[in-house]
Amino acid sequence: MPILDDPVKFKFPKNVRFECNRCALCCRDTETKTRMILLLKSEAERISQKTLKKLDEFAERIEEQEPYVYLMRKTFDGKCVFLKDNLCAVYEMRPLICRFYPFNLDNLGNHNYVFSYTEECPDIGSGPQLKKRFFDKLFAEFMASIRQNH
């Protein structure tokens, strides 16, 4: 796989501040956004193993979203099935997409990626200014997850 063998580069937003206050907006649908909490195969299997739940109890198989192969199920009111009292019941093993929020990593092709963020998150603009090492860590998590799923 070229992504794993060739040098990979990424760009990240400069002068952005962020510190999560655990509002859980990212864990549920809003009036203007329907969440798609995508799962890699290894993430879904790990959650299944640790929670002793069958995959189909918390996720449904999807197509054409590679490298993601599952979509997290939600409650009748649009919340992630693992959101309990505004806290994540699988926080230590939460999916990559959750660990990244409010950031997104887009593949520009030719082994180039760019981080972006959503202004929907009320904590963008608060907290410390994020440095390159913050994005280095996220990118390393992404690369490790991709390697694990190939």
Domain residue limits, the chain: 7-148
Confidence of residue 2 (pLDDT cuts 50, 70, 90): very low
Q: CA-based diameter of the chain, in Å?
A: 44
Calpha distance 72→129 (Å, rounded): 31
pLDDT band at residue 1 under the 50/70/90 scheme? very low
Look at the pTM and tell me if it is higher than 0.85: no
